[in-house]
Amino acid sequence: MSWTKVLATEALSPGTRQVVKVGKRNILLLNHENQLYAVENTCPHLKLPLKSGKIADGAIVCPFHRSAFDLRTGAVTNWCPWPPGVGKLLSMVSQANALPVFPLRVEEGNIWIDVQEE
């Protein structure tokens, strides 16, 4: 385990997001319905940022080609469905890889995440 203190809990109020850097990784912290999540901010498809992606059915949806990843496990729930027709071709550019997610805990008013370096 390699726990790193990344943010004061009060800086991540319900409905907000923050990107923090831990080593070489950009980690997206989300407070969705009072549940905290820590996921890689880089979409596994074309390495574009996920920060502005909406959340639907417990998954974050990439704002670019709408791949979706379960917030708890990072599992792919939809791979590159957008835009219609072209999405199928774009889906072949890279494998349907899961989104890295990170263990998170709150202690003494701070958010800690466990990030293993690549």
| Footprint on this chain of ligand FES (rule: CB under 6 A) | 43, 45-46, 48, 62, 64-65, 67, 80
Least distance in angstroms from the C-beta of 40 to ligand FES: 12
Please name the residue that has the structure tokens 């319900």.
14
> Please, which residue, 11 or 64, has the CB nearer to ligand FES?
64
> Please, which residue, 37 or 112, has the CB nearer to ligand FES?
37
Instruction: Provide the token pair at 100.
Output: 């890295």
In angstroms, how far is CA 16 from the centroid of its own chain?
13
CA dist 59 and 6 (Å) reads: 23
CA dist 72 and 37 (Å) reads: 7
> Please, which residue, 43 or 115, has the CB nearer to ligand FES?
43
Report the candidate in 55, 39, 58 with the shortest Cα–Cα distance to residue 66: 55
Least distance in angstroms from the C-beta of 85 to ligand FES: 15
Least distance in angstroms from the C-beta of 46 to ligand FES: 4
> Please, which residue, 64 or 70, has the CB nearer to ligand FES?
64
Least distance in angstroms from the C-beta of 90 to ligand FES: 7
CA dist 46 and 37 (Å) reads: 22
